[in-house]
Amino acid sequence: MTKFIKYVERFIIWGILIVMSVILVLAFIDIVYEITKKIMEEPIFIIDSSGLMGLFSLFLVLLIGLELLETVKAYLKEDIVHVEFIILVAIIAIARKAIVWDFKKYTTEELISLAIMTVALGVTYFLVKKADVNIKISRKNKVKE
């Protein structure tokens, strides 16, 4: 029975990898399409600041997807989730939010909370790197070093 569950788990992980890869290819095609569309609008070859922020947002979403894909690949290979990859995904997601921040839409308190999350993730990443220890969480809830 355990072997069967292991096969099902592997099948699901491969399915996630394939679906995420397809989504990332489609996201890349969307980015190329959006860039082409922005460049061809009047005035030609000029992208305004709001259009540029939208494009940066699309790039960062693609980077988040690539980091998540890397996390799933590492899990498939080693059967462990790398904490460092998860922290990087969170940092990229927060950076994306900060880059496309609309000051008219959000309050000062929300900006402060974003800043606190950014600092917390930065400190966490620094400590993980400084420790120079590969902290990994396995499915068996054991921490391996």
pLDDT at 27: 92
pLDDT at 40: 84
pTM of the full predicted structure?
0.68
For residue 1, how many other CB atoms are within 10 A of its CB?
5
pLDDT at 143: 47
d(CA 89, CA 29): 22
Enumerate the β-bridge partners of residue 5: none
pLDDT at 145: 47
Q: Give me the tens of pLDDT residue by residue for the chain, a chain 145 residues long.
A: 788 988 898 899 899 999 999 999 999 999 999 888 888 888 777 777 777 777 888 888 898 899 888 888 888 888 777 788 888 889 888 888 888 787 788 888 998 999 999 999 999 999 988 886 555 555 555 444 4
In degrees, to the nearest 5, what angle opens at C-alpha 15 toward C-alphas 22 and 56? 35
- Cβ pair 82, 74 in contact under 8 A: yes
Residue ranges per structural domain of the chain:
2-144
pLDDT at 133: 57
Enumerate the β-bridge partners of residue 137: 81, 143
